[in-house]
Structures are given as structure tokens and as C-alpha cells.
Structure 1
Amino acid sequence: MSRLFRDVEGGPLCPQGSVVCIGAFDGLHLGHRVLVRHAVARARELRLPSVALSFEPLPREFFGTGAPPARLTPPRARIEGLRALGIDVVGLLRFNAALASMPPDAFVRNVIAQRLRAREVWVGPGFRFGHDRTGDLETLQRLGAECGFTAGAVDPVSLDGERVSSTRVRHALSSGDFETTARLLGRPYSVQGRVVHGNRLGHTLGYPTANLRFHSKRPPVSGIFAAMVHGIDDKAWPSVVSVGTRPTVGGTEPLLEAHLFDFDGDLYGRRIDVEIKAKLRDEETFRDLPTMVAQMHRDAMQARALLDDLPRQACA
């Protein structure tokens, strides 16, 4: 069974040794998958546990320099995705002031060597770590020679002549290009989460919704979308989805609201997976509620028609 740990300090987690891969893993795109699968394969060859080492919050979010990048994958989905790729131990280290100021050699000795007893460490292209990002692959290799592990980097993964990266995924999403997004991720883009209570305005207006929060993370999409919602029963439910702050009703927090066509039931507390298929329009501010409801009717009709036209397998 896969294990999760959050702390830098503590006793050995893999006394017999491990194979470690390190990265942000936001989105778990094709490049991440190559890195993780390589580490898992090496761990199986050596009959050792595989470890994926990452951080929460992401370093750029912690430092808060400029607008933080939109988050592609919330923590739980990141953990579940790594486990699905065969990882035995997930380290989602708490990125705080102490970890941010830790020199590369201390990080290697305390976490990689002592806690994980690494035999091999694998990273992606351009990997940097430690205080002021002063550590790199060469640092890992030098310290590994002292601590008893080897370190290497996997080759970058390219698609259409350009390296696959989380930045490129975010750009495709912000452009509404879900076909390219799916190719970069190796799967359709979706938002996962537990349904929470809203203000029930949608129910009052005739459009009850299942609501997902982003918990202070900036979503990579905004607007109105056609989507398929998974996790309710054996079928995927065609839906119209809004992602935004709901400015017409004075909202400020980003929220995903999914109206499931022809669904009658209580979804509060359920974990669902909202697979976004196409963007219909940007979020707007309406002069009054009747105008907004009229647009909601048009959005629902457009989403139904679009989803009905998609190949059956694309909505399964």
C-alpha cells in the first residue's frame, strides 16, 4: 500500500533503500509521467520501493513573487495520480520558511540520504533545488557520491517540436485548447474535488449545481464550459459548468459550479471528476438576474448540443 509523508525530519522511511524521483508534478503531464515511470521501473528492477518527492505549497506559490501560477492539480489529485503510476511512497513536503532556507547539501543528507536511504535519484531537465535554487543535477551527483546514491536526469519529452511543460499546459488551457491540453497531459483535463454547499442560488434559478472549491489555488480555466461529470454512478453526466467568481451576484472566491442535465439527487460530500470538453464563453457580469438566467438557458442548450455531437467514446 502506498504511503504518504509530509515532514523533512524523522526516521528512515525506506530502511532497505529506495529509488527517488523529484519534481513539482503539477498536472502530471507526459514529461512527469516519463520521469515517474522510469523511477518505478528502476525500483522494480532493484526490488526497492519507489518514492515521488514533491512540495505543498509549490515553491512559486510560497514565495509569492508576482501572480502565482494557476494550479493544474490539487494535492489529493496529485497524490492519487502518482500512486496510479505505481509510486510506493509519496513525499509531499511542507514547503515553509525552514525548507526554503535549507541548503542543498542539508536537504540531500536529511531527506534523500537519511529519510529515504536513496540508492538512485532521478529528476527532470533543468532541475534546481535548495536555498536560492543553488542545487542542480551536478550537486546531486556530487553529494550522491558521498552519501551512497547515484543521480540522473531523464530526457525532455517533446510534442510538436516543443518541450512538454506545466507552463505549456496552462497556456493551452487558458486558450481553451482542450485538444492540445489532452495531448500534453496524456488524458483529458478535469477538475476533481468534493462537492460543497453553495448559496443555493442556482437551485432557486432552476439550475441546481454541484460546487467545487479551489481552496485558495488559482484555477487554470475561467468561463462557461460543456463538460462530463464522473464519479456519480456508472455513467458520465453531460453538464454545463461555470468556473469563476460569479461577479453578477457579488462573488469573490473562484468556484466551479456544475449543472448536471436531467439529474435529480443530492451530491453534497461526494467526490466527483469534472472532465471539461469545450469552452462556450468567458464569464460575464450581467445587469440583473433575469438577463443572467436567459444566458444560462442559452449556455445549457449550447452545451447539450455540443455534447450530443461528440463521439460517444469521448463522453464515456
Structure 2
Amino acid sequence: MSRLFRDVDGGELFPQGSVVCIGAFDGLHLGHRALVRHAVGRARVLGVPAVALAFEPLPREFFARDNPPPRLMLARDKVAALRELGIDGVGLLRFDARMAAMTAEDFVRDMLVRRLGVREVWIGPRFHFGNRRHGNLALLQAMGGELGFAAGEIAPVDLRGERISSTRIRGLLVSGEFVHAAELLGCPYSIGGRVVRGRQLGRTLGFPTANLRFPKTPALSGIYATWVHGVFEQPWPSVSSFGTRPTVEGVEPLLEAHLFDYQGDLYGRHIEVEFVAKLRDEEKFNDLPALTAQMHRDAEQARRILSEHRLRATA
């Protein structure tokens, strides 16, 4: 069972020691996965737990609270994905004013050494941490020499010469380049969660939806052709709206997936919505009949795209 912890304060978590990797891990793209797998491999060699340290909220969200940057992945999905990669302990550290003011040296002593008993710590290229981003590989190596741990940096990960980064992936999603984004992520981009009850307006318009909350600034918004996973063994074709629903005065971002030709009740079920193609941006309509007419056009277009997508996948 993987261990989850949130605080720098507290007692020793891994008396036998640990191998630690640190990063934002937003999206868990191929570069992140290389770092995590390297740490897990080293932990298995040393016979100690592998620990991943991340922050919630992300530091850039804390420093830009009035205009937070887009998020690829919610915290719950990040923890689940890290566990699937073999991580034994996940530190989803609270990033608040106190954490922002903590020096890199104090973070090493209090978190890495005292709480985690770090034997090795691994970071990605150009990673910085601590107040004023003073912490880096050189500091980790210097302190490791004093405090008895090793520190290293994995080599940059690229794809056909292109540097892989969460920023690049966000840009690809905004421009609807889902195939390219999937290459950098190592899998198609999707958002998962438990289906919640909405206002049920779609049902009255003939388009019932399975709704997933996304309480962060999403990396994309609009109307999409999508596959829904988790209902049947095979992905189910759907058309999805992701955003703040301007015609019905939505506020919190909501992902609404209409599953074609499906009549069942999905409330409480965990599903995954995979994005295939963008149909259009969100749009505010003058009335519900105009919205309904556009929804029919969106559904027809999504059906065509997904039919072609399925044929390509089986060719």
C-alpha cells in the first residue's frame, strides 16, 4: 500500500531510508515518467521505498492566484498515476506562504533528511526549489556530501529532438493537436473522475450528460469528439463540452460527456474521458433552441470523426 503525506512537519516516515524524486509532475509526461522510473529502479536496488515529492497547489498556482495557469492533471489522478509507476510514498506537500518562504537548505534538512531518511534524491534537468528557487543540483550534492545522501539529475528527455514539457503539452491541447500531445504524454490526453449530478438541462434537451468536476483552471475548453472509458470494455463514442457553460451561466469548469445511444445511469461511476478532436470553442447562444440545434450538429460531426478514428486504429 502506497503512503500519502502532506506536511513537512511530523515524525520520520521511512526509518529504513528512501530514494526520492521531486517535481511538479503535472500531466506525468514522458520526461516525468523517466525520472520516476529511474528513482523506482534505484530504490529497488537499495531495497528502500521510492518516494515522489510534489506540491499542491502547484507553486505557480500559489503565486498567480488571481490568474492561475492551466492544469493538466488533478491531484487525485497524479497520486494514482505515481502509484501505478511503482512509487511507494507520495508527498503532496501543501504549498502555502510558509512553504514559499522555506529555504532550500531547510527543505533538505527537514523534509528529505529528517522525515524521509533520503539515501538518494533525483531531479529533472534545470529543476529548482526553495525560497527564491535557490535549490538546485549543486546545492543537493553539496548538502548530500555533508548529510550522507547522493543526488543526481536525469538526462533531458526529448522526442525527435523536441523537448518534452508540460508547457508544450498545454499549448498542443489548446491548438487541438491531440495526437502530438499524446506522443509527449505517452498516452492520449484524458480526464477522469466520478460522475456527479448536474443541472440535468442536457437531459431535457435530449442530450443527457455524464458530468465530471474540474476544480482547477483546465488546459483546454470547448466542444470535443471524445471516447468514454470505464462504462464498457471498449471505449464508448461521445461528444463532450468542457468549460464554464456560458449559455447556462456556469462557473466552475465542468466536463460534460454525452454518450451516444446510451441510456444507463452513470452517477457515482468512475469514468475517463479521452479527447480526440476539437469541434469548436465554447459559444454563448441567444436561447436554448439555438443551443440545441448546434448540439445536434456537434453530435453528427463527432460521430463522423470517431468513426474515422476507430477505422484508423483498427487498420
TM range (shorter): over 0.9
* TM superposition shift of 1:48: 1.0
In the alignment, does 2:305 pair up with 1:306?
yes
In the alignment, does 2:108 pair up with 1:120?
no
Aligned to 1:186: 186
The 5 Å alignment of 1:91-110 reads 91-110=91-110
Secondary structure, counterpart of 1:68 in structure 2? coil
Q: Deviations over 1:215-250 (max 9, x none)?
A: 1x1111111101111112322111000011111122
Aligned to 2:277: 278
Return the alpha-carbon distance in structure 2 between the equivalents of residues 132 and 51 of structure 1: 24
In the alignment, does 2:225 pair up with 1:226?
yes
* TM superposition shift of 1:252: 2.5
RMSD: 1.3
Aligned to 1:198: 198
Aligned to 2:289: 290
Return the alpha-carbon distance in structure 1 between the equivalents of residues 147 and 312 of structure 2: 51
Return the alpha-carbon distance in structure 1 between the equivalents of residues 185 and 313 of structure 2: 16
* TM superposition shift of 1:314: 4.2
Return the alpha-carbon distance in structure 2 between the equivalents of residues 290 and 314 of structure 1: 36
Return the alpha-carbon distance in structure 1 between the equivalents of residues 96 and 311 of structure 2: 46
Return the alpha-carbon distance in structure 2 between the equivalents of residues 313 and 79 of structure 1: 33
Matched AA of 2:106: A
Q: Which moved more, 1:36-45 or 1:303-312?
A: 303-312
Matched AA of 1:208: P
Return the alpha-carbon distance in structure 2 between the equivalents of residues 234 and 177 of structure 1: 26
Aligned to 2:148: 148
* TM superposition shift of 1:313: 7.8
Matched AA of 2:150: T
Query: What is the TM-score of this pair, normalised by structure 2?
Result: 0.97
State how many pairs are aligned. 314
Matched AA of 1:108: V
Q: Structure 1's 13 and 158: CA in aligned 2 closer, same or farther, altered over 3 A?
A: same
Return the alpha-carbon distance in structure 1 between the equivalents of residues 82 and 90 of structure 2: 7
Return the alpha-carbon distance in structure 1 between the equivalents of residues 97 and 78 of structure 2: 23
Return the alpha-carbon distance in structure 2 between the equivalents of residues 147 and 263 of structure 1: 60
Secondary structure, counterpart of 1:71 in structure 2? coil
Q: Deviations over 1:5-46 (max 9, x none)?
A: 111111111111111000000000010011000001111111
Q: Structure 1's 206 and 65: CA in aligned 2 closer, same or farther, altered over 3 A?
A: closer
Secondary structure, counterpart of 1:83 in structure 2? helix
Secondary structure, counterpart of 2:62 in structure 1? helix
* TM superposition shift of 1:281: 1.0
Query: What is the TM-score of this pair, normalised by structure 1?
Result: 0.96
* TM superposition shift of 1:2: 1.1
Aligned to 1:20: 20
The 5 Å alignment of 1:66-105 reads 67-105=67-105
Aligned to 2:163: 163
* TM superposition shift of 1:162: 2.2
Aligned to 2:134: 134
In the alignment, does 2:50 pair up with 1:54?
no
Instruction: Could you tell me which runs of 5 or more consecutive residues in structure 1 were left unpaired when the two chains were aligned.
Output: none
Q: Deviations over 1:98-154 (max 9, x none)?
A: 111111111101110011101000000111111111111111111111111010100
Moved over 4 A (4+): 312-315
Matched AA of 1:138: A
Secondary structure, counterpart of 1:143 in structure 2? helix
* TM superposition shift of 1:214: 1.0
Secondary structure, counterpart of 1:198 in structure 2? coil
Q: Deviations over 1:234-277 (max 9, x none)?
A: 22111000011111122232211100011112111221100111
Secondary structure, counterpart of 2:233 in structure 1? coil
Return the alpha-carbon distance in structure 1 between the equivalents of residues 124 and 137 of structure 2: 9
Return the alpha-carbon distance in structure 2 between the equivalents of residues 87 and 65 of structure 1: 30
Q: Structure 1's 34 and 291: CA in aligned 2 closer, same or farther, altered over 3 A?
A: same
Q: Structure 1's 312 and 46: CA in aligned 2 closer, same or farther, altered over 3 A?
A: farther
Return the alpha-carbon distance in structure 2 between the equivalents of residues 118 and 312 of structure 1: 50
Return the alpha-carbon distance in structure 1 between the equivalents of residues 144 and 50 of structure 2: 17
Matched AA of 1:297: H
Return the alpha-carbon distance in structure 1 between the equivalents of residues 190 and 180 of structure 2: 14
The 5 Å alignment of 1:28-43 reads 28-43=28-43
Instruction: Could you tell me which runs of 5 or more consecutive residues in structure 2 were left unpaired when the two chains were aligned.
Output: none
Return the alpha-carbon distance in structure 1 between the equivalents of residues 166 and 225 of structure 2: 23
Return the alpha-carbon distance in structure 1 between the equivalents of residues 203 and 281 of structure 2: 22
Matched AA of 1:239: S
* TM superposition shift of 1:312: 5.1
Return the alpha-carbon distance in structure 1 between the equivalents of residues 191 and 313 of structure 2: 17
